[in-house]
Amino acid sequence: MKRLLITICGRAGSKGFKNKNLKVFCEKPLVYYTLSAAELFAKAHPEVQVDIGLNTDSQHLADLVAAQYPEVVFLPRGEELGGDTVPKMAVFQDTLKRMEAKNGYVYDYVMDLDITSPLRTAADIENAYNAKADRQDLDLVFSVTHSRRNPYFNMVRDCGDHVEKVIESPYTARQQAPAIYDLNASIYVFRRDFLATNTTGILWDGKIGISIMMDTGILDIDSEEDFLLMEVIAGHLYENYPDFAAVRNNIRG
């Protein structure tokens, strides 16, 4: 049986959007959408041992999770991992080390699910997991969306008194340019040993693959405006896309 550790990481407060991890999204706590999607994935894959660790310095967030998802292991975050400049990979590593010590076994993969991506389906998690499990040569798979702009064709950079294409190219149509993707920070799936032994905190040290998600389903919630717009998008998705509605309907409580 393969073992998967799912990490959920959230700091107390937020400079860009205060207490965003504690917000109520479409009448449900924001973090519950991530937990619901993870639960649906786990139920669909009994052949995978799935454990979830919550790494946070927010007692409010820990209490919120424990109220409906008591099986999630609360890992109080130390002050040394609470600063703005701490690489997120260090928090992943801390979670991995403590969960392996607690459970007495080693994981095959570590998956991080960002709290501020409520519009994530169980299929998105499955696709990312399979993308890594099917490619043992990859150190990491992360989720992306198709980019709406392409630096080979329709993006420019400021050169002072004029602008130029970001990358000089002969392409006359967007379809001719290489495929470009936006990182959406929703899902990361690490090969356990790559994560455990990384010393730089830099994702790009590894060989990386991608898992493509629906582009209109994900926004990075960094402001009140982002949050409100995401709720509008959510209403459309819940009404028209069963996979998104399934996550909301599966939320406990």
CATH number of 2-249: 3.90.550.10
What are the domain boundaries of the chain? 2-249
What's the whole-number mean pLDDT along residues 80-84?
75
Residue 238's pLDDT is: 97
- Kindly report, residue by residue over 97-114, the tens digit of the pLDDT: 999 999 999 999 999 999
pLDDT of residue 163 exceeding 70: yes
Residue 229's pLDDT is: 93
pLDDT of residue 25 exceeding 70: yes
pLDDT of residue 152 exceeding 80: yes
pLDDT of residue 13 exceeding 90: no
What's the whole-number mean pLDDT along residues 35-47?
97
Can you give the pTM of this predicted structure?
Answer: 0.94
pLDDT of residue 135 exceeding 80: yes
Task: Tell me the HSE value of 34 on the side-chain side, using a 13 A CA sphere.
Answer: 26
- Kindly report, residue by residue over 138-148, the tens digit of the pLDDT: 999 999 999 98
| Radius of gyration, CA atoms only, the chain | 19
pLDDT of residue 62 exceeding 80: yes
pLDDT of residue 69 exceeding 90: yes
Residue 73's pLDDT is: 98
- Kindly report, residue by residue over 171-215, the tens digit of the pLDDT: 988 889 999 999 999 999 999 999 999 999 999 999 999 999 998
In the structure encoding, which two tokens stand for residue 14, read together?
């937020």
Q: What is the mean pLDDT of the chain?
A: 93
Three-state SS letters, the chain: CEEEEEEEEECCCCCCCCCHHHCEECCEEHHHHHHHHHHHHHHHCCCEEEEEEEEECCHHHHHHHHHHCCCCEEEECCHHHCCCCCCHHHHHHHHHHHHHHHHCCCCCEEEEECCCCCCCCHHHHHHHHHHHHCCCCCCEEEEEEECCCCCCCCCEEECCCCEEECCCCCCCCHHHCCCCEEEEEEEEEEEHHHHHHCCCCCHHHCCEEEEECCHHHCCCCCCHHHHHHHHHHHHHHHHHCHHHHHHHHCCCC
Residue 220's pLDDT is: 73
Residue 14's pLDDT is: 64
Q: Using alpha carbons, list the distances in angstroms from residue 229 to 118, 150, 183, 193, 218.
A: 13, 24, 19, 38, 11
Q: Residue 104 CA to chain centroid, in angstroms?
A: 26
Residue 173's pLDDT is: 85
Residue 218's pLDDT is: 66
d(CA 208, CA 206): 6
Residue 237's pLDDT is: 96
d(CA 167, CA 149): 12
pLDDT of residue 85 exceeding 80: no
